[in-house]
Amino acid sequence: GAVVSQHPSWVICKSGTSVKIECRSLDFQATTMFWYRQFPKQSLMLMATSNEGSKATYEQGVEKDKFLINHASLTLSTLTVTSAHPEDSSFYICSASFSGRAQEQYFGPGTRLTVT
Amino acid sequence: KQEVTQIPAALSVPEGENLVLNCSFTDSAIYNLQWFRQDPGKGLTSLLLIQSSQREQTSGRLNASLDKSSGRSTLYIAASQPGDSATYLCAVGSQAGTALIFGKGTTLSVSS
């Protein structure tokens, strides 16, 4: 099956710093990648949709200048949390789909971000 | 706007019981529905994917049904085991290649 990886799996950073999270599709080319956020005991909430070579589409209430998304290739999308604050501490999960099997999404293992 | 609800929020059963998890969605115009498993602090494991034209899917002890017209899906787990303890998430896709909308999940605890 299709595999999606995320790096790092967990990260601790100080308030005010920036953190970059990578999402890679290992054995397929992802035409679309999605970034979700999950707070403790809550469900996954979509943050943004990313298509290769174009600007990401952000969901209402998600600050595009704070959560920078780059989808420079068909196998890599990055999420950068800029000027992180403790309230940004969360579990960030990416998923990817490709045109051949657009009906199914493949999820990465997630990145636990803790901002101190 | 599509909303996905899962009932119950939590469920505790003794080992060996058969159980049903429920998922409902407000907009019946869906493309597909997926059931996932999530262990504490971990990512998602896809369990079953049902296309909108399908009524059910089976994998081992798991069976998922879909009734699009009534906006409901159920996940049936047969002969539950302690290893089944996890949170089960239901997610709906409105179109091919679009993001999924998730329910809040049902946390299952199976005691030995």
pLDDT of B68 = 94
CB A115 within 8 A of CB A21: no
* Separation CA A35–CA A96 (nearest Å): 9
**Chain-chain contact of A107 with B102 (C-beta, under 8 angstroms):** no
Contacts B93 to A, Cβ<8 Å: 103, 105
**Chain-chain contact of A46 with B101 (C-beta, under 8 angstroms):** yes
Contacts A91 to B, Cβ<8 Å: 41
- The closest of B13, B15, B24 to B75, measured between CA atoms, is B24
pLDDT, tens digit, 9 for 90 and up, residues B58-74: 999 999 999 999 999 99
**Polymer length of chain A:** 116
Average pLDDT over residues B44-69: 95
Interface test with B, best of A39, A42, A43 (most B CBs within 10 A): A43
- The closest of B81, B112, B82, B111 to B12, measured between CA atoms, is B111
pLDDT of B97 = 77
Distances (CA, A) of A55 to A19, A32, A51, A84, B10: 20, 12, 7, 22, 39
Size of interface A-B (CB pairs under 8 A): 59
Q: What token pair was written down for B2?
A: 């599509």
Average pLDDT, chain B: 95
Average pLDDT, chain A: 91
**Chain-chain contact of B32 with A34 (C-beta, under 8 angstroms):** no
Distances (CA, A) of A41 to A44, A72, A88, B21: 10, 33, 15, 18
As a whole-number percent, the residues of chain B with pLDDT over 90 amount to 90
| Residue A62 pLDDT grade (very low, low, confident, very high; cuts 50, 70, 90) | very high
- The closest of A61, A60, A50 to A23, measured between CA atoms, is A50
pLDDT, tens digit, 9 for 90 and up, residues A4-25: 999 999 999 999 999 999 999 8
When CB atoms are compared, the residue of B31, B43, B96 closest to A108 is: B43
**Interchain CB contact of A109 with B (< 8 Å):** yes
Q: Is the pLDDT of residue A54 over 80?
A: yes
Average pLDDT over residues B47-54: 93
Considering only residues 12 to 71 of chain A, which have any Cβ-Cβ distance to chain B shorter than 8 Å?
Answer: 31-32, 34, 36, 42-46, 49
Contacts A32 to B, Cβ<8 Å: 97
Backbone torsions φ then ψ of A99, nearest 5 degrees: -60, -30
pLDDT of A92 = 97
Residue A5 half-sphere exposure toward CB, CA atoms < 13 A: 8
**Chain-chain contact of A103 with B49 (C-beta, under 8 angstroms):** yes
pLDDT of A99 = 64
pLDDT of A98 = 72
**Interchain CB contact of B46 with A (< 8 Å):** yes
pLDDT, tens digit, 9 for 90 and up, residues A87-109: 999 999 999 987 665 567 889 99
